[in-house]
Structure 1
Amino acid sequence: MTANRLTVRRAVETDDAVLLRIDQTSWDATTGFPSYQEHIRDSFFARSGPEAHLVAEYDGQVVGYLRLQDKYPFPEGEGVLTINGLAVALDARGQGVATALLDAAAAEGKRRGARKISLHVHGTNTVARRLYERHGYVIEGTHPNEFLIEGTYVDAIDMAKML
């Protein structure tokens, strides 16, 4: 994918169906929560609306999203955003989509006056961890055996990037 054919924009209501399809096919037990995937059958935006999402398009076709939200609902936590999901369509992986979304999230964070973006990633998701590290995210903490997924304990890794 070339950069001029890959764009990032804010999500709109009409993205719901395609984002739902991406969400339903992008996660597995090493990257997400199978029990959560069972719930998201009707609307992608049921969890949070379009205003919380950046969408990547390639030649006008939606190929990924990033959910960027305030981490804390109180004034002392102002300036800290969190990525609560990043997914790329299976046929668009390895083409720079996640990089474009992370770059757009950093730009959006700066535009909003944020000082930090944080995220959680499964310890088993080494591909995502390497991606985040290439974008300046560092490990802030590890929660051993945080989740029991399909009979296996999985660590939760907290990562963050200062803006």
Structure 2
Amino acid sequence: MIVPETLIRTAERADEAALAALDRAAWSTLHAVLPAPVPPYEPFFDDRHLPGDYLLAVREDVIAGYIRVVPPTPLAATAHVRQIQGLVVAEAARGHGVARALLRAAMEKARADGAVRMTLRVLGHNAPARALYASEGFAVEGVLPGELFLAGAYVDDVLMGRSLTLR
């Protein structure tokens, strides 16, 4: 079986409809903190979610996933940090290294932009994501027990981070 190559590129405005469809299709209680999207749908891109914030994984000319990486705050004191604020992979592309490729590309881009640290937040029950992040050098730096109430249960908010100066 030949595995298609994954191309990583920055999102463009023209990707909006495909990204919105992917986002809706991938919605899950495993990772979502917002309710399932219902029509009329909000735009995927807006003043806070710009195309340049997203790296896309493209396989056989189809968007297979995305990662959103931005500074965690507008403060100069956190300009050296990038935060992952979304990592989504299409169901059909899971298990083919797409999430790992996106994560590694995001870290490389952050380094190129001068960042020395990357952080993220992940739901405590999202074991697959936590394992991926740990395998790429992220460590748990804090846990907010029961921080979120989702689908009738309290869920931990796990804070993870890693240095970008160590490979």
Answer whether TM exceeds 0.5 for this pair.
yes
The change in CA–CA distance for 1:155 and 1:39 in structure 2 (over 3 A counts) is farther
What CA RMSD, in Å, does the superposition of the two structures yield over aligned residues? 1.7
**1:134: Cα distance to partner?**
0.7
CA distance in 2, matches of 1:109, 1:34: 27
The answer for the alignment partner of 1:161 in structure 2 is 162
| Residue identity opposite 2:9 in structure 1 | R
Q: Please report the TM-score for the alignment, with normalisation by the length of structure 1.
A: 0.93
The change in CA–CA distance for 1:139 and 1:39 in structure 2 (over 3 A counts) is farther
Equivalent residues, number: 162
CA distance in 2, matches of 1:6, 1:23: 19
Q: Please report the TM-score for the alignment, with normalisation by the length of structure 2.
A: 0.91
For 1:49-94, what per-residue CA distance to the aligned partner results, in whole angstroms no more than 9, with x for missing partners? 1010000000221110000101121111111000000000111111
CA distance in 2, matches of 1:11, 1:157: 28
Please say if 1:125 is aligned against 2:126.
yes
Greater fraction of residues in helix: 1
For 1:131-159, what per-residue CA distance to the aligned partner results, in whole angstroms no more than 9, with x for missing partners? 00111111000000011011100000000
Which structure 2 segments of 5+ residues have no match? none
Please show how residues 1-163 of structure 1 align to structure 2 within 5 Å: 2=3, 5-35=5-35, 37-38=37-38, 41-46=41-46, 47-163=48-164
* Percent of matched pairs sharing the same residue: 34
